[in-house]
Amino acid sequence: MALDEHLQTIRHSCAHVMAQAVLKLFPGTKIAIGPAIDNGFYYDFEFTGDKKISEADFADVEKEMRKILAGNHDFIRKEVSKAEALEIFKDQSYKVELINELPDNETITTYTQDTFTDLCRGPHVANTKEINQQSFKLMKIAGAYWKGDINRTMLTRVYAVCFAKPNDLKDYLTMLEEADKRDHRKIGTQLDLFHIDDEDPGQIFWHPNGWSMYVTLQDYMRQKVLADGYMEVNTPTVMPRTLWERSGHWGHYQKNMFVTESEKRLFAIKPMNCPGALEIFNTRTRSYKDLPMRLAEFGHCARNEPSGSLHGIMRVRGFVQDDAHIICTEEQIGAEVTKFCALLKDVYKDFGFDKNLLVKFSTRPEDHVGSEEDWDRAEAALADACHNAGLEYEIQPGEGAFYGPKLEFTLIDALGRQWQCGTIQADFQLPSAERLNAQYIGKDNEKHHPVMLHRAVLGSLERFMGILIENYAGAMPAWLHFEQAAVVPVSPDFNDYAEKVADELKSVGIRVKAYTDDDNMKSKIKYISSEHRTPYILVVGEKEKSENAVCVRFRYSSGLPQKTMSLAEFKEYILDKVNSHFNGI
């Protein structure tokens, strides 16, 4: 058994122990399901008594769990008939429902440790002694509808983390503590980057500091894609229902679309940009010589995400993607995917994400359009191209888009967390005669349908900005930071020189501010360092004024001591850092 599989078995077994402890402390509780998940497990309960669990009870539950584990109880597997299972769980309505849904010929198994028996396929560890008593911790409580149905009972979900060794748990909790400090929502408030109004959930109000970085990020990507052979376009935000019906989105995605009406016609705010690209392609007769056609769009999209799933700027309803659609022949797929992978790796390197890039290959889902033959060809072409690009991938069965398979690129941040950002998807469906009927004239002088490759490097700019804020703890690289330099005079006598320095830096495009207010120098430096996290603080006094110089304090001076430079020398230095997209100060 692989290590990860064994760890998941430990976690699932620990979930059973937690359920036993909860039943002991909260008699009459109804138990639902308790699977292993990333980093731990959860269990869903319905508390029917007067007392309901709260996080204040976690210590007592953990204490009871350790008593159970100390008993060295075997996990005993038993096969039972449906009738036996119904009798065993007659007082547990959720288990009864699950049992009744099982096919008559399916093997039903239970697992028992100590006095607790649960309906479960397994597997489990052999004995509770395999679960370290210091390697788990209850974390939080959340609400969860039974089977995810809002019309069913709201259950209480108790989350826990669990690892094989105590040190693994300690490391994970340390990471969570650091992640809390880096929470982009907290830093967004500290640095005055953005806010989200409670009355307008999922929509971001960008403040000047945040918008400066957002525009810089977008301009950076614009330069990258234009240099890589893309043409930028822009398509309407609101498009008619008829287009979405032809594209297939109305039938497969309508519940996530914001719909509006005008002159007795239905329109939708676009949740994605792809139909617009083909509308542009279809405006004139195209030749095979025009392909591949790479159309980039920073298109604003809106998706009606459930309010409970929204999270700062990471998960929103209104967002912009660094989107592009490559319209090409089937034979060009490999070269275009390889070219895209090179672009993606180059961009990620500029942000310091050039190590441990993970690639996942998502294949045909049950809810899909198009023939299996088309899907087979699309999957084969994408897989071959990925290998040709020198990348290995992990298969995600059934996780493709409804119109085609996709490669998903996951980067790893400073805390070791994984973020899926980039994607490229091979689509034989949208350009087909059954959909938007895109055509080109081939070498044989006949009409053919092209393939559309949907791709993004960053994905949602909003989400990527949130990732960057947390990765850098708000101390963004100088080329991206909203304030690249701050000029601080040692006294008001040197305000004029501070303004002169700032003006010279502004003249070459540096985002800089001269702090000439009445606060003393130390207070200004403390404020700039903590509240703005500015990469370079330029202190100026009599010596600097007489020599046309600046005393540079670097953001993390423990690694780079302060240094006096001539203004011309510093100007050259900071321009080099900004223009090279150097991943650092």
Is the Cβ–Cβ distance between 65 and 71 less than 8 Å? no
Cα atoms in the Cβ-side hemisphere of radius 13 Å centred on 475 = 16
Q: Is 159 exposed, middle or buried (0-12, 13-18, 19+ CB in 10 A)?
A: middle
Q: Give the C-alpha separation, 396 to 407, whole Å.
A: 10
The secondary element (H helix, E strand) that includes residue 360 is strand 358-362
- pLDDT tens digits in sequence order for the chain, 585 residues long: 344 899 999 999 999 999 999 999 999 999 999 999 999 999 999 998 788 999 999 999 999 999 999 999 999 999 999 999 999 999 999 999 999 999 988 899 999 999 999 999 999 999 999 999 999 999 999 999 999 888 999 999 999 999 999 999 999 999 999 999 999 999 999 999 999 999 999 999 999 999 999 999 999 999 999 999 999 999 999 999 999 999 989 988 899 999 999 999 999 999 999 999 999 999 999 999 999 999 999 999 999 998 888 999 999 999 999 999 999 999 999 899 989 999 998 999 999 897 778 999 999 998 887 788 888 888 888 888 888 877 889 999 999 887 789 999 999 999 989 999 999 999 988 999 999 999 999 999 999 999 999 999 999 999 999 999 999 999 999 999 999 999 999 999 999 999 999 999 999 999 999 999 999 999 999 999 999 999 999 999 999 999 999 999 998 654 556 899 999 999 999 999 998 875 555
Give pLDDT tens digits for 91-150: 999 999 999 999 988 899 999 999 999 999 999 999 999 999 999 999 999 999 999 888
Residues 6 or more apart from 108 whose CB is under 8 A from it?
A: 79, 80, 81, 82, 84, 85, 99, 102, 119
Residue found by looking up tokens 């084969």 in the block = 380
Tell me the β-bridge partners of 265. 262
**pLDDT attached to residue 560:** 55
- Report which residue type is found at 349: K
Q: How far is CA 410 from the centre of its chain?
A: 9
Angle between helices 208-227 and 461-471 (to 10 degrees): 110
Q: Give the C-alpha separation, 38 to 35, whole Å.
A: 10
Q: Is 148 exposed, middle or buried (0-12, 13-18, 19+ CB in 10 A)?
A: exposed
Task: Determine how β-strand 40-46 pairs with β-strand 36-37.
Answer: antiparallel
Instruction: Read off the tokens for 536.
Output: 């370079």
Backbone angles phi, psi at 188, to 5 degrees: -60, -35
**pLDDT attached to residue 190:** 95
- Report which residue type is found at 45: F
The single-letter DSSP state of residue 428 is S
Instruction: Read off the tokens for 263.
Output: 């002159």
Q: Which residues of 396-421 are buried (b: 16+ CB within 10 A; e: fewer)?
A: eeeebbbbbbbbbbbbebeeeeebeb
Q: Give the C-alpha separation, 97 to 101, whole Å.
A: 6
The residues annotated with a catalytic role in the active site are 274, 303, 321, 323, 325, 406, 454
Collapsing DSSP to helix, strand or coil, 347 comes out as helix
The single-letter DSSP state of residue 531 is I
Instruction: Read off the tokens for 366.
Output: 């049950």
Give pLDDT tens digits for 186-205: 999 999 999 999 999 999 99
Instruction: Read off the tokens for 348.
Output: 């990620």
**pLDDT attached to residue 214:** 98
Is the Cβ–Cβ distance between 438 and 458 less than 8 Å? no
Is the Cβ–Cβ distance between 429 and 451 less than 8 Å? no
Q: Is 352 exposed, middle or buried (0-12, 13-18, 19+ CB in 10 A)?
A: middle
The alpha-carbon radius of gyration of the chain (Å, integer) is 29
**pLDDT attached to residue 569:** 97
How many C-beta atoms lie closer than 10 Å to residue 227's C-beta? Answer: 9
Is the Cβ–Cβ distance between 265 and 241 less than 8 Å? yes
Cis (ω within 30 of 0) for the bond into 292?
yes
